[in-house]
Amino acid sequence: MIDDMELSSSDQELMTEINAAIVRYIQSDDAHLQMDPMNSYRRRMVHKIATEYKLNSESTGEGEDRSVRLSKTATTTIPENINKQRVVDRGIEIFYAKPGAEIVLRTDGSFGVSLKEGDNKILDKRTVDEGEFRIRDNKIICKQDSNW
């Protein structure tokens, strides 16, 4: 639940996707994040989530093209408990891919070769040069990484 909003399972999934997109945005150099068009209920969710990160949010566009645009403030931050909501970590398991393949880790915990799906469903994306990788703390880790 977000304040007074009861969430269905699809809304909870959307909330996870929104959180992941916002975290990527905050960690980027991008000035703004323009969300995809959505209905008023889902826009309201985005506005409420944005306040947790201390982001500015505004609805833009008209009718079916109405969406939310987010921008950073001087106090924008990633709350400590956000990443604890759903952490994908497969420990010391080693996975294999064709060397040079681009692997994606999705918000639902699945992973594999990128199939050009929407970026808002991806926790991490990485080219695996040597063909071996692990999944730790919502990240794809390769042999050359210090936390292998």
* Amino acid (1-letter code) at residue 51: T
| Domains of the chain (ranges, CATH numbers) | 9-71 (3.30.1370.50), 95-142 (no CATH)
DSSP helix/strand/coil, 115: coil
In sequence order, which ranges of the chain are alpha helices (DSSP H)?
Answer: 9-27, 40-52
Return mean pLDDT, the chain. 84
Provide the CA 41 distance to its chain's centre, in angstroms: 20
3 state SS of 45: helix
Q: How many residues does the chain have?
A: 148
Most confident residue range from 1-5, 9-13, 37-41: 37-41
Q: Is-above-0.85 flag for pTM?
A: no
Q: What is the pLDDT of residue 1?
A: 37
Given a cut of 50, whether residue 133 has pLDDT beyond it is yes
Residue listed under structure tokens 């201390």: 54
35, 67 contact by CB (below 8 A): yes
R_g of the chain computed on alpha carbons: 17
The CA distance from 108 to 134, in Å, is 16
The pLDDT tens digits for 64-111 are: 999 999 999 999 998 876 644 566 778 889 999 999 999 988 877 788
Of the pLDDT bands very low, low, confident and very high (cuts 50, 70, 90), residue 124 is confident
Confidence of residue 6 (pLDDT cuts 50, 70, 90): low
The whole-number pLDDT of residue 3 equals 46
Alpha-carbon span 101 to 114, nearest angstrom: 8
